[in-house]
Amino acid sequence: MGIVANFPWSGLSMVFPYKPPSGWKHLFMGVCLMVFVFGVPCLRSVLAASAFDSPMLLLDPGMHVDPIQKMAMDRDERILATISLDKTVRIWKLPNFQLWKTLRVPMISGGEGRMNALAVSPTGGIVAAAGDTCRSWNLSYCIYVFNTQSGRVHYKIAGLPEQVTDMAFSPDGQYLAAVMADRGGMRVFRVSTGQLAAQDSRYGGTANSVRFSPSGKVVSTSQDGKVRLYDSSFRMEQSKQIPPGITPQGAFFSPDSHKIAVAFLGKPIVSVLSAKDLEILYLPDMTGVSGEIVTLAWSSDGKGLYGAGKHTAKFKRMLRWWSQGGQTDNAGKGEFIDIPVSVAPVQAILPLKEGGLVFTSLSSALGQVDSQGFLGIVRKYPNALFPRCLGFLQISPSGGTVSFPMNPENTVNGVFSLSHMQFSINSSQTTGLMVPKRRASRINLKASMENDHLRLNLDGRDIDVPGNEEISCFAMANDERFFVASTDSALHMYDGSGTLRWRVAVESSIRALNITENGKFVLVALSNGTINWFAVTAGKPVLSLFVNADSGEWIVWSPDYFYYTASKNAEDYLGWHRNKELDQEAQFTPISKMRTRLNKPNILQKILN
């Protein structure tokens, strides 16, 4: 038996062994009896009650702190909605990209609340969001449908067998199409009631995109290798694998509804198909494309086709802009230009009516390319962006001072001192700071790269992690009594013999590790911009720091006791997320409401001692 300790403010959770006092035994026996007599619904009620009783401390600096996954706009381009791995939906007022509302779904630590799919109704009155939602309580998935004006959940579409991976509203706003993971297929719902209007369960794998044409047709792509075309009554017209052996990952109708552009998983290939029979019309010129194109968009007049993803040139991710819709001559050549837009892969693009487009990437939250191809970054991520495991997290021997990069290029360096509660840029305080130790002299621990992941070997045997995950980063204690290794989902601590001592799950990916000279603390930098001090003996965070990479504002807090201190204007970066009901939006209350009781910098300064 154990207790799950949640640290969602730092993206962390772990399980500690625990023996309940005798009074608890009756509670657990009662729960077991109810489950035995009344079945799973009773257990769901118990789990739901625990999740809705306790608020969770979360970071919210007024912008997503993890990469944006999807974007959607209304027909008149008045609002833009975004979802992120940070489990929030944000709505932006266009054309100035001013944050209007932040929408929150019920969530707990772990996957619950992480959204993969987003859609905005043509009028902008409704936003639908879904993904790993409702599973923890209903043993099935759901779609949350929000009223954008009030920010309230209008209704919930429940009982879905798999996670929703993509959604789209029909041009008239009467229907919502949703495709799902695994073999969940596609379902279409009436927006007025949320009732099922049509479905297709004949999918052999995860469906990854769905789109309506201006004329009301539907196209979807799936990892079973098929592109499916439905008429405006949702009857299948065509189902083809094009080209054979390659997996489509997105299909996009042209403005005249006559053509469909398709991107493919892991391949620098784009096909333009007929929206009548899915036959290949032509292949846009991919000369010089160095990585997969993950997302496509047609210009509003249909004359241009945009593609982006992992295409790289001169250390920049490129947006390819084909003229003539990507058509080529008999030699397969076409007209195009490449526009550098980001240092990290582009996630999504949306065309604008007046020309150009909006994009999001792993390094630039929201960017815009105008009709002439000029680039502008309209919204940045507020968090420091650590190059993964390259040793840029430097610390003083005690861990009281940390130095870290403030931008992906590592041209701006930030230094934070806990003893002075002070942040500075390109400070001279970096003298004497320690880089992570990765070379052993006492134990026979060796690290090597294999398929872009680390392989750790101790005394001739590989270090394995639970779940067969791949190691992305590691660091060892100064005396080599232990070492830590990270994967995409967890931090692991091993003793000098290679025995796993504890594992902590993370919701944001680990970007950097370091260990204090005395071996008492492991410092962990996460992709959400937080730096966390873990007590090695307890295996849990005792301090967390967030610095706004754009403004330099910062906040430090103790996950255990909720004490905090912050620079001017940063107090509201932290607050409590409270789940209300399963079919209601969650609430967020800034921690500044408890300033008198909890703003205690003197207590925070003593924690490392």
Domains located in the chain, CATH noted? 2-56 (no CATH), 58-294 (2.130.10.10), 394-606 (2.40.128.630)
- Angle, helices 40-53 vs 22-38, to 10°: value is 130
Question: In sequence order, what are the beta bridge partners of 147?
Answer: 126
CA distance 232 to 226: 19
What b/e string do you get for 488-513 counting C-beta neighbours within 10 Å, with b at 16 or more? ebbbbbbebebeeebbbbbbbbbbbb
Residue with tokens 């861990």: 399
Number of Cβ within a 10 Å radius of residue 62: 12
pLDDT given at position 233 = 97
CA distance 588 to 598: 17
Contacts for 91 with CB less than 8 Å, ≥ 6 apart: 79, 80, 81, 99, 100, 101, 102, 103, 127, 148
pLDDT of 34 > 70? The answer is no
How does strand 153-160 pair with strand 12-17? unpaired
pLDDT more than 70, % of the chain? 90
* Residue 8 CB contacts under 8 Å (≥ 6 apart), including other chains: 56, 57, 58, 107, 108, 109, 507, 577
pLDDT of residue 237: 96
What is residue 18's predicted lDDT score, i.e. its pLDDT?
A: 34
Task: Name the percent of the chain lying above pLDDT 90.
Answer: 72
Q: Locate tokens 């023996």: which residue?
A: 19
- Which H/E stretch holds residue 602? helix 601-606
**In angstroms, rounded to a whole number, what is the distance separating the alpha carbons of residues 533 and 608?**
9
pLDDT for 190:
99
Whether omega for the bond prior to residue 243 falls within 30 degrees of 0, making it cis, is yes
**pLDDT of 187 over the 90 cut:** yes
Residue 339 in 3-state DSSP? strand
pLDDT in tens, 94-104: 999 999 999 99
């909720």: which residue's tokens? 562
Task: With a cut of 90, say whether residue 332 has pLDDT above it.
Answer: no
pLDDT of 24 over the 70 cut: no
- What's the confidence (pLDDT) of residue 510? 92
pLDDT at position 45: 52
The pLDDT tens digits of the residues spanning 367-421 come to 999 999 999 878 888 988 777 777 789 999 999 999 998 876 777 889 999 999 9
Residue with tokens 């103790």: 558
Within 10 A of 85 (CB to CB), how many other CB atoms are there? 21
d(CA 492, CA 474): 9
Distance of CA 287 to the CA centre of its chain: 31
* Phi, psi angle pair for 35, to nearest 5°: -65, -40
If pLDDT is split at 50, 70 and 90, which confidence band does 1 have?
very low
Contacts of 453 (CB under 8 A, 6+ apart): 470, 471, 472
- pTM summary value: 0.88
What order of strands is seen across the sheet that includes strand 88-93? 68-73, 79-84, 88-93, 98-104
Report whether pLDDT(51) > 80. Answer: no
- Place 465 in a pLDDT band, splitting at 50, 70 and 90: confident
CB 533 within 8 A of CB 541: yes
Q: Is the pLDDT of residue 26 over 50?
A: no
Give the per-residue pLDDT at 266: 85
Residue 410 confidence (pLDDT) = 72
